[in-house]
């Protein structure tokens, strides 16, 4: 068992300054790497939308189905953030390396079946009212994306391990190189050029698959330098099953969040094209700041995990609260921008569509409040992940999203007649419930003995 130290090894004020510095130093490159990966998807959409507009709907459908299915395996590899950081905090690099080997096996084990499931599910979407030719093109796109999806989970595993080691340079390099390659290849393969045939959305899928493999290759080169000297400890018997048991609750938590946001998007579209477009614009704007919160969250998981591994309960609480403070400071700043400039921001996306511009501006203003709680729930879930608390957050977020957020959103949008703004107020309520409950949970467990989960 891990006991809280009776007092810090350094003065409290100094310890807080050190924690802020270390968290920021780790978070900044994680923000950049996360944003760069997101940009890859945006570039695909922009290029296809401009050079092969007939395939845009198919690409959007394929991405939604493919990523939605891959979320089911995401938690299994993301839990490496917890296991590796706690092992390193305990001064046990052999155990950390053994967990990496187990994690990459899990990523390969889940990647292929989930990719196949996504293709099969997309092929059945006409039963849900999706146009059959559109679904057929989406399946073709997913076949092109299949190699990238298969290596996506090993890539996340490698990223999680490097993040835990504090080795972030290769993450940034990989993201930049892959984005440049993806953009150039998109421009050549989507419309055709330099002797290449016009592949449309399939070309974008192939480009992203190769780009994902490039990112993984760069990370693997860096990971080789972290292999412990001598004969590395092999993974313990049953470690794969243990990893899956630890990661599945996290996968379920991520799936619950993905599903509620996807459902809200469908409901927004039910109010017409203007509502759907405004919702998409506001979501794109809030996603940009959300990427920054994810970067801080990743750093927070690592810092909390280090502290738990070395038996420093006080340090674990401090790391979580520092992550929360940095996230709220960032989100407050962006909230002020959203509230003050919601009209001009919306005009950037829809300058010639006044109805969309007005509604998008209203939703962006709501997003100013929404993202405060979104940032809070992200970073507190990350802090709990670093502490190894993986099951209770699933219950908290499921109840918050589906027991609070969705009913409020549906009631305000349809019963209250608020339509799209009502959906966003409901999302805000759900995120607030999740963020505050996760904060209470973290304060509770960080005030007690914490047992490392991978020891």
**155/284 same-domain check:** no
Separation of alpha carbons 439 and 101, rounded Å: 33
**334/352 same-domain check:** yes
**266/231 same-domain check:** no
H/E stretch holding 85:
helix 80-89
pLDDT band at 234 (very low <50, low <70, confident <90, very high): low
pLDDT at 10 > cutoff 70 = no
Joined together, the tokens standing for residue 194 give 């330099």
pLDDT at 54 > cutoff 80 = no
Rounded mean pLDDT of 333-353?
88
**195/294 same-domain check:** no
**125/202 same-domain check:** yes
- Alpha helix stretches (DSSP H) within 124-238: 132-165, 169-189, 201-224
Instruction: Count how many Cα atoms sit within 13 Å of the Cα of residue 214 in the half-sphere of its side chain.
Output: 19
pLDDT on residue 362:
94
In a domain, 260, yes or no: yes
Rounded mean pLDDT of 10-14?
75
Per-residue pLDDT of 383-430, as tens digits, reads 999 999 999 999 999 999 999 999 999 999 999 999 999 999 999 999
**218/260 same-domain check:** no
**396-423 per-residue burial string, b: 16 or more CB within 10 A, e: under 16:** bbbbbbeebbbebbbebbeeeebbbbbb
**210/254 same-domain check:** no
**170/271 same-domain check:** no
Per-residue pLDDT of 188-232, as tens digits, reads 888 776 777 777 888 888 999 999 999 999 999 999 999 887 656
**164/258 same-domain check:** no
Share of the chain above pLDDT 70, in %: 96
Separation of alpha carbons 168 and 29, rounded Å: 6
Residue 1's CB is within 10 A of a number of other CB atoms, namely 7
Per-residue pLDDT of 63-101, as tens digits, reads 888 888 999 999 999 999 999 999 999 999 999 999 999
pLDDT on residue 181:
93
Question: 210, 236, 262: which is the final residue of a domain?
Answer: 236
pLDDT on residue 6:
46
Q: How many domains does the chain have?
A: 2
**334/445 same-domain check:** yes
In a domain, 6, yes or no: no
3-state secondary structure of 137: helix
Share of the chain above pLDDT 90, in %: 62
**104/175 same-domain check:** yes
Separation of alpha carbons 245 and 162, rounded Å: 22
Question: 202, 236, 270: which is the final residue of a domain?
Answer: 236
In a domain, 3, yes or no: no
Instruction: Count how many Cα atoms sit within 13 Å of the Cα of residue 410 in the half-sphere of its side chain.
Output: 11
**212/274 same-domain check:** no
pLDDT on residue 14:
87
In a domain, 241, yes or no: no
Question: 236, 265, 292: which is the final residue of a domain?
Answer: 236
Per-residue pLDDT of 130-174, as tens digits, reads 788 888 888 998 999 999 999 999 999 999 999 999 999 999 999
In a domain, 255, yes or no: yes
pLDDT at 233 > cutoff 70 = no
Separation of alpha carbons 266 and 68, rounded Å: 14
Q: Which domain holds residue 229?
A: 11-236
């Amino acid at each position: 068992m891990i006991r809280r130290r009776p007092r810090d090894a350094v003065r409290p004020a100094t310890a807080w300054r050190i924690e802020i510095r270390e968290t920021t130093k780790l978070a900044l490159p994680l923000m950049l790497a996360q944003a760069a990966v997101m940009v890859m998807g945006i570039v695909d959409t922009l290029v296809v939308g401009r050079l092969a507009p007939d395939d845009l709907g198919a690409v959007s459908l394929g991405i939604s189905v493919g990523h939605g299915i891959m979320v089911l395996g995401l938690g299994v590899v993301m839990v490496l953030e917890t296991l590796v950081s706690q092992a390193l905090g305990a001064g046990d690099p052999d155990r950390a390396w053994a967990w990496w080997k187990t994690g990459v096996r899990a990523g390969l084990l889940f990647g292929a079946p989930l990719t196949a499931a996504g293709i099969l599910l997309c092929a059945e979407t006409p039963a849900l009212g999706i146009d059959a030719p559109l679904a057929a093109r989406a399946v073709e796109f997913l076949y092109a994306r299949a190699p990238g999806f298969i290596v996506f989970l090993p890539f996340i595993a490698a990223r999680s391990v490097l993040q835990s080691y504090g080795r972030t340079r290769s993450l940034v390099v990989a993201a930049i190189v892959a984005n440049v390659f993806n953009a150039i290849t998109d421009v050549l393969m989507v419309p055709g050029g330099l002797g290449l045939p016009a592949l449309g959305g399939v070309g974008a899928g192939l480009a992203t698959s190769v780009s994902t493999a490039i990112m993984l290759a760069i990370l693997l080169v860096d990971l080789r330098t972290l292999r412990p000297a001598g004969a590395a400890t092999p993974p313990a018997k049953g470690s794969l099953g243990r990893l899956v048991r630890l990661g599945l609750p996290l996968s379920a938590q991520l799936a619950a969040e993905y599903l509620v946001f996807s459902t809200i998007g469908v409901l927004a579209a039910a109010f017409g094209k203007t509502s759907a477009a405004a919702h998409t614009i506001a979501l794109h704007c809030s996603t940009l700041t959300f990427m920054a919160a994810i970067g801080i969250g990743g750093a927070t998981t690592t810092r909390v995990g280090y502290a738990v591994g070395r038996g420093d309960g006080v340090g674990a609480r401090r790391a979580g609260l520092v992550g929360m403070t940095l996230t709220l400071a960032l989100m407050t700043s962006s909230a002020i921008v959203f509230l003050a400039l919601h009209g001009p921001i919306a005009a950037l996306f829809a300058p010639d569509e006044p109805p969309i511009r007005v509604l998008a501006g209203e939703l962006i203003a709501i997003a100013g409040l929404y993202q405060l709680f979104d940032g809070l729930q992200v970073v507190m879930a990350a802090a709990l992940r670093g502490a190894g608390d993986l099951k209770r957050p699933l219950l908290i977020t499921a109840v918050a999203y589906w027991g609070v957020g969705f009913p409020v959103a549906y009631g305000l949008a349809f019963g209250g007649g608020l339509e799209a703004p009502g959906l966003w107020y409901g999302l805000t309520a759900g995120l607030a419930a999740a963020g505050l409950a996760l904060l209470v949970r973290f304060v509770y467990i960080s005030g007690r003995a914490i047992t490392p989960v991978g020891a």
